[in-house]
Structure 1
Amino acid sequence: MPKIDDIRNHYKTVLEKKIFLSKNTILGVTYYIMYIQKAEDEEINFVETFSQYFPYYVWNEDQLETLNTSIGMQASLEKASKKCWNSPIVAKRKTEVNGIYGELFLDFYERVVHERKLIITYASRREYCNNMESKGYDHIGYLLNNNVLELVIGEAKYVSDISSAKKSLLEDIRGKSETDLGHLSKSYFEDFMSFVVLENKQFSDAEKQELKTLMHELNELLVNGTMTFLEYILKNNIKLNVVLFAIFSNDNTNHEDLKKYYDELYINAKNKIELMDICNYDIEVVFIPTKATSMKIKGKIDEFYK
């Protein structure tokens, strides 16, 4: 039976550069991030990455450790992926309204490219046989930076064009109305992160051990009403990393020409974070433009599972 490290190594060495090939940034501006792939291979690269990573995105470590790789790692992951896709854990939604595509590639970016870790699994955010998308942030993770804990929250969009990406991400940041709160508001942050603490279902035993003390302290505070999650974050100066991630069709791969989109998302996120009184934070705006339309690539992914 494979070790989980063998699967992670496959993602790092075989799959990472299929989509996250060339990273473009602007000197001195940390939140401008764009990844470019080989246009002639992008459709097959998106399908291979999605299909082989899907079990890792949905299942936990205990399930993956039982994977039989006698037919080879790629074939084994693709076989498991089809089983996973048809399981009741995964929402059955129309392609055009299914958010799982963007969420998976954001998860890959965080856990493979960045090598960050997961706080709560996809399955733990889902309700049995409910075809609505998972509620809350699209990604919730953490990292240990010189043994100091940092939190990561991410929002993902896989849409037709950059204008749609900006509009959808701004709705997540600011909310759609006075009653539909943005994801970077105190009440939303408090409510969902309290759910995460009480759910307390990480991907692996190693992550459980690393977060054991934090979860115990937070549970004690939340149960007894001594301190809110946000108050705990502020008191301990825990850094918050916010990732705004979008894949869209765009012939222009010059990230400097997309400056206004980066800046508007960054400024709105910055303002909302600071309204929560958080001073220790970082924001990444990650764009992945493709030559093919989003529906064409998603359609190719869907064909894999038929």
Structure 2
Amino acid sequence: MAEEKKLNYDVVIVGAGPAGMTAALYASRANLSVLMLDRGIYGGNLNNTATIENYTGFPSVEGPDLAKQMYEGATQFGAEYAYGTVTNVQMDGELKKITTDMGDKFTAKALVIASGSDQKKLGVPGEEEYSGKGVSYCAVCDGAFFKGKHLIVVGGGDSAVEEGMYLTQFADKVSVLVRRDHLRAAAVAQEKAKNNSKMEFIFNTSVTSIIGDGQKVTGVKTHDNKTGEDGEMSADGVFIYIGNVPLTTAFRGLDILDDQGWVITDDKMATKLPGVFAIGDVRETPLRQIATAVGDGALAGQEVFKYVDNLK
């Protein structure tokens, strides 16, 4: 006879990125029953990141490798992990009822929202049509398909510059289109990129549409934000890194989001709802990095223990 699936936990953590896994580690080490729910493989955006050079203790580490090590740590005290996209959350007294697209209905005394964020779309013609046909948001996933090609990276922040450098392993040329007149990436990353002979930076330039031959990307149409001139640039692929949007659709009914969809918390990661916490990239925070996500997770794990313990 098949073992009955466990549905009731002390804490359910929605998301198994660095923040969620750290919260799971701290909460399970405090002897709470913990379930991490994630729509994909543990690690979140770590799995879409090539080389990480700004996480303490790791001078350089590949994103998927760090994800694996974090997962091993997160589950060593009994925290469980399951696939599922959370579709609805309801408050029922002290209990939180969590429904997933797999049809599962979990209950928990505490809920930790660590669902993270997703790459923001440009919202221009051709972007959706050529998604997976030359348009990508993940250099690690798709870079190897463009050996010897010319690629365009859209964006001027850390992700655009760092992922652009990663793409030079494969592409012959990487053109970074920046809508401002300067980069926002860290100075160290900027210096490395500007010394990379395969990279070029084109400033004051916006992409107005992505064009192709019906089967694959052939280039982009551009607008010069300084001169007002429109132009066109040929390319074999377009990688977009223009920011993030929070993955908080399932929590809209809880009245804990700001007008942009980010979860609002206090300095102890608590929302205004008792027993509901939020951590990592999903939170309204001035910095979204692995280090800050881990810090959020550690604090939330401890606060969750205090909350559950006070219910007894």
TM-score, normalised to structure 1, is 0.27
Structure whose residues are more often strand by fraction: 2
Q: Which has the higher helix share?
A: 1
